[in-house]
Amino acid sequence: MGRKVELALDPFDLTTLELRFRGQPMGMAIPQIIGRHAHPKAKAEQPATAAPEPGTGIHYLRLLDDQQTATLATQINYTALNSKNTDRQGEDEQPASTHGAVLAGEEQS
C-alpha cells in the first residue's frame, strides 16, 4: 500500500500492461472493467416524451433585426456619400488618368 509502480505498455495495444516495481517486472496487470454503478433490481428511467411547448407567437430574432435596422438607419452611410462624390466627379470633370487621352471609338477633330 502506498508504493509507486510503473506500467510498461504499448500505446497501440492497451490490452497488455506489464507491472514493474523498482525496475523489476512483477507480472501482467489486469485492467479493471468499470461499468455502470446501479443496483441490479433498479429499473431504468424512461425518458419523458413530453409534447413540445406551444409557440408564443413572438419572433425574438425579428424584433432584434428590426431594432438593429432602425439603429443603423439613424447612422451616416459613408458608402453612399462616397458613391455620390464619384458620380459628381464624372459630371464636373474627368479623372486625371483620362486627361488628354483619346478614348476608343472617338474621332479626333
* Distance separating alpha carbons of residues 59 and 63, to the nearest angstrom: 6
Torsions phi, psi for 102 (to 5 deg):
-90, 125
Spans of the chain below 70 pLDDT: 83-109
pLDDT for position 47: 75
List the domain boundaries for the chain. Answer: 60-91
Non-local CB neighbours of 27 within 8 Å, separated by 6+ positions: 18, 19
pLDDT for position 29: 87
pLDDT for position 82: 75
- Are 18 and 12 in contact, with CB atoms under 8 Å apart? no
pTM over 0.85: no
> How far, CA to CA in Å, does 71 sit from each of 58, 64, 65, 99?
21, 11, 10, 43
